Structure 1
Amino acid sequence: MADLVVEGGFPVAGTMRPSGNKNAVLPMLCATLLTDDEVTLENVPDISDIDKLVAYFESKGSKVHRDRAAHRLTIRHDFAGFAAREAELPLGMRAAVLLLAPAMIRTGRLDFDTEAKGCALGVREIDPHLEILQAFGCRILSSHPCAMEAPDVYRGARIWPDYASVTATETFIMMASVASGTSVLNNAASEPHVQALCEMLVTMGARIEGIGTSKLTITGVGRLSGTKATVPDDHHEVATFLAIAAVTGGRLRVESQVGHHMELILRQFGKLGLAFDVEEDAITTAGWSRRVTEPFTAELLPKIEAAPWPYFPADLLPQAIGVAVGCQGDIMFWNKVYEGALGWSAELLKFGARVHLSDPHRLIVFGGNTLRPAVVEAPYIIRVVVALLVAAIQVPGISRIKNADPIRRAYPDFVEKLTALGARVHWE
């Protein structure tokens, strides 16, 4: 594992374009299995999970052409060839669950490891995915490892899950798009990356109603065609670079078309004193007052809550915490998605920040800290590495973030982009 060395106190400024959304491209790439026609994806980020998926597809006989310089990937699957090979799923990536529906549709039988790992955000249930497959008629033959068998005909299903899971919603979308009849999902996830999958499938001939809402109604079609689709920019990367630039005092312009997804995100960062100029196709940092916005109800502690979309995203809560250590006021952060995802906050003490972990979901950051450079240990959580960098880069002096490799899974050319904008950051 490599360390990230950060020399803080230098402004991050200029103009940049973000990469394609990792959480959008992975389900979009998996959904190419739903057609035997050619599919081309534009704005494809250069991340390791895509390498693993492409290797998996090629091992099944799929034809893949990838132009990394142009961020373009073209793929065509061999229906007969894919079905004739072993049906196991790739290990070492949580995105493997996104293959459950399309691989089952391709092969009729599936074997997979229920212990696939991604990042250290606690236990993530696979049950919602299996329940969705069962609702469409699939049968579980064994567990640990799990073996599943497809029905003779996939029939539409009505499902109301316990909670709005992004990947389970995407599993439902892919199953329902090719099942006979009409399927309905109440309590559907509606994140921008879920919307991107829906929009791609619509261009392939799927009939989907309710895109962007918590209720999806999908009428299955007999066949999906090929398409050309563009992966949306990563709104998480947009917000991350804006936060990094703002705490360094730099003026950064991020050019992107995802501004319509950023209103609540920018407002929550605004609670930490960050200011932005918003245009139709760009967002620019406009200063950092360091003042935490106090609520009108004086007895309440200011807070930022992360929950499923359209709440503030849990994947941006660590970055907001990294900003908060440099603020003058106190504020609470509440992660309503993952249990135990704030345990890393003890590393902030090494910077001189004062924080209190109230329980597995809530953290209080106290303001008015005198920060200092530090050597910190990053857990295997992508966004936490960035959070520690946000804290380090605002402190003059040299800090080291140990075991920072997870950042490569979601932020292509992260260090190169930062150094091009004036940051002093490098790998060791």
Structure 2
Amino acid sequence: MTDLIVDGGHPVSGTVRPSGNKNAVLPMLCATLLTDEPVTLENVPEISDIDKLLAYFEAMGSVIDRDLGAGRLTIRHDADAFRAGKGELPVGIRAAVLLLAPVLQRNGQLTFDTTAKGCALGVREIDPHLDIIESFGGRILSTLPYEIELGSRAVAADLWPDYASVTATETFAMMAALAKGTSTLTNAASEPHVQALCQMLQAMGAKIDGIGTSRLTIEGIERLGGTIARVPDDHHEVATYLAIGAVTGGRLTVETDMGGHMPLILRQFEKLGLRFEIGEGTITATGWTREITEPYTREMLPKIEAAPWPYFPADLLPQAIGVSVGCKGDILFWNKVYEGALGWSAELLKFGARVHLSDPHRLIVCGGNSLRPATVEAPYIIRVVLALFIAAIQIDGRSTIHQADPIRRAYPHFVEKLTALGAKVRWQ
């Protein structure tokens, strides 16, 4: 693991472009398996998960042409070579759950072992994905290891799952696009990265209605074609850079195509005193009052709630918490998505912040703290490392964030970009 050394108190100013969305590019890459024709992706970020997926594709006979500098990737899957194996999912790829539908569609069968060391699917819940695959006609032949078979073309399904899962919605879309008949998914996830996958499938010929809503209707077709698709900017990264610029007293402009998805996100950060200007294709952080916006109902504590899109994203709640330690007032943070996802907040105490973890979902951050630099331990969670970073960079003096490597999984050239903007930060 690598430590991040942060010398806080220096303004971060200038103009920056965010990377392509990791949560969009991974399902988009997996969806290229649904066609034998070339697919070109633009605005592709440099992240390790992509490297692992591409290595898997190449091992299965796919042809890949990648221009790292241009962020452009063209991929064509050789049908005969890819069908040579049993569709065994790769080890060590966190996005492997997104391969279930396209590998099954392509091979008619797949295998994976959840008991193997380094299993690609890890301990994440796979039941929603298996339920979807069974609904489309897939059969689970065994579980140790898992062997799944799709004897013939998938048959349309009508589904209403327990909750709106991003990856399960993406699995549904990749199964339904080539299924016989019209499929519906009620309680679909609608995050920008889900929309990006659906729009790419549309460009490949899929017939999809309801993109961006909680109900998807997909009329299956027999064959999808190639296309050129752009990976959208990462809206989490947009908000993170804006927060860094604001808390350091800088004026930071982010050039992005995600302005239409940002109003609610910006409004929540404005509750923490951040100020923004919206331009054509730009958002600029212009300042930080440190004042918490008080509700008109004075008996209530100000709060920021995270829930599935179009609510404030759970993946941005840690960054907002990192901002809040420097605010003058008290505020409640409520994670309605993940239980126990706020336990890391005890590390904020080392900076001199006063926080109270009310229960597995709710955290109160008290304002008016006398902050000091500190050495903190980061869990292996990308957004939490960023939260600790945002807390550290607003404090005069040197802080150290141990085990900060997860940033590299989703924020390419993070340190280099910030250094160019005036930040005093380095890897150690």
- Pick the TM interval, shorter chain: over 0.9
Matched residue type, 2:170: E
Q: Which residue identity lines up with residue 208 of structure 1 in the other structure?
A: I
TM-aligned CA distance change 1:259 to 1:117, over 3 Å: farther
1:203 maps to 2:203: yes
| Partner of residue 249, structure 2 | 249
Give yes or no for contact 1:273–1:290 (8 Å, CA) kept in 2. yes
CA–CA distance in 1 between the matches of 2:119 and 2:358?
28
* Distance apart, 1:117 and its partner CA: 7.2
Write the distance in 2 (CA, Å) between the matches of 1:118 and 1:367: 42
Aligned to 2:137: 137
**What is the identity, as a one-letter code, of the residue corresponding to 2:41?**
L
2:177 is paired with a residue whose SS is helix
For structure 1, which segment, 224-233 or 149-158, has the greater mean C-alpha deviation from structure 2 after superposition? 149-158
Q: Answer yes or no: is the 8 Å Cα contact 1:119–1:381 preserved in 2.
A: no
* CA distance in 2: counterparts of 1:173 and 1:111, whole angstroms: 21
Find runs of 4+ consecutive structure 1 residues off by over 6 angstroms.
115-120
The one-letter amino acid paired with 1:61 is G
1:244-299 Cα shifts (integer Å, max 9, x gaps): 11000000010111100000000000000001001131000121000111111111
Question: How many percent of aligned residue pairs carry the same amino acid?
Answer: 72
Q: Does 1:106 align with 2:101?
A: no
In the TM superposition, what is the alpha-carbon distance from 1:111 to its structure 2 partner? 1.0
> Do the aligned partners of 1:257 and 1:280 also contact (CA within 8 Å) in 2?
no
User: Shift in Å at residue 119 of structure 1?
Assistant: 12
The amino acid of 1:422's aligned partner reads: G
| 1:18-417 correspondence to structure 2 within 5 Å | 18-114=18-114, 124-417=124-417
Query: Which ranges in structure 1 are unaligned for 5 or more consecutive residues?
Result: none
Pick closer, same or farther for the CA change 1:119–1:45 going to 2, 3 Å: farther
Contact 1:114–1:126 at 8 Å: present in 2 too? no
Deviation at 1:118, TM superposition (A): 8.7
Q: Take 1:42 and 1:184, find their aligned partners in 2: how far apart are those partners?
A: 30
Unmatched segments (≥5 aa) in structure 2: none
Q: Could you tell me whether the CA contact under 8 Å between 2:22 and 2:45 is conserved in 1?
A: yes
For residue 355 of structure 2, give the secondary structure of its aligned residue in structure 1: strand
SS at match of 1:359: coil
Contact 2:113 2:145 in 1 (8 A): yes
Letter in 2 for 1:330: D
What is the rounded CA distance, in whole Å, between the counterparts of 1:408 and 1:354 in structure 2? 29
DSSP 3-state at the match of 1:130: helix
Aligned counterparts of 2:66 and 2:404: Cα–Cα separation in 1: 27
Q: What letter corresponds to residue 94 of structure 1 in structure 2?
A: R
For 2:5, the equivalent position in structure 1 comes to 5
3-state DSSP class of the match of 1:65?
A: strand
CA distance in 1: counterparts of 2:227 and 2:176, whole angstroms: 19
Q: Which amino acid aligns with 1:88?
A: E
Deviations 1:313-334 (A, max 9, x none): 0000000000000000000111
Q: Report if the CA contact (8 A) 1:61-1:82 is conserved.
A: yes
SS at the partner of 1:244?
helix
CA distance in 2, matches of 1:345, 1:231: 32
Change in Cα spacing, 1:283 to 1:196, as seen in structure 2 (3 Å) is same
> May I ask how many residue pairs the two structures share in their alignment?
426
- Matched to 1:175, the amino acid is M
> 1:249 is paired with a residue of what secondary structure?
coil
CA distance in 2 between partners of 1:13 and 1:117 (Å): 42
Deviation at 1:374, TM superposition (A): 0.4
Which one-letter code corresponds to 2:177 in the other structure? S
Q: Is the 8 A contact 1:61 1:81 kept in 2?
A: yes
Q: Note the alpha carbon deviations across 1:392-416, whole angstroms, 9 max, x for none.
A: 0000000000000011000000000
Please give the secondary structure, in 2, of the residue aligned with 1:55: helix
Q: TM-score, normalized by length of structure 1?
A: 0.98
Q: For 1:7, give the aligned amino acid.
A: D
Cα distance, 1:173 vs structure 2 = 0.3
Greater alpha carbon shift after TM alignment, 361-370 vs 88-97: 88-97
Corresponding residue number in structure 1 for 2:14: 14
Q: Distance in 2 between matches of 1:93 and 1:191?
A: 22
Q: CA deviation at 1:80?
A: 1.6
Deviation at 1:86, TM superposition (A): 3.7
Q: In 2, distance between residues paired with 1:213 and 1:111? A: 33
Paired residue secondary structure (1:148): strand
Q: Is the 8 A contact 2:113 2:119 kept in 1?
A: no
Partner of 2:427: 427
Query: Once the 2 structures are TM-superposed, how far is the Cα of residue 5 of structure 1 from its aligned partner?
Result: 0.4
Q: Could you list the per-position Cα deviations for residues 165-201 of structure 1 after superposition, in whole angstroms to 9, with x for gaps in the alignment? A: 0000000000000001000000000000000001111
Distance in 1 of aligned mates of 2:41 and 2:216: 24
Give the 3-state SS of the residue equivalent to 1:327 in structure 2: coil
TM-score by length of 2: 0.98
Instruction: Give distance in 2, aligned partners of 1:342 and 1:92.
Output: 26
Aligned AA (1:30): C
* Secondary structure of 1:46 counterpart: coil
**Alpha-carbon spacing, 1:72–1:207, altered in 2? closer, same or farther (3 Å):** same
1:98 corresponds to which letter in structure 2? Answer: L
Which amino acid is 1:303 matched to?
K
Deviation of the 1:90 alpha carbon: 1.9
* Mapped contact 2:11–2:423 kept (Cα < 8 A): yes
Q: Distance in 2 between matches of 1:52 and 1:287?
A: 40
Separation in 2 of the partners of 1:69 and 1:155? 42
Residue 87 of structure 1: how far off its partner (Å): 1.8
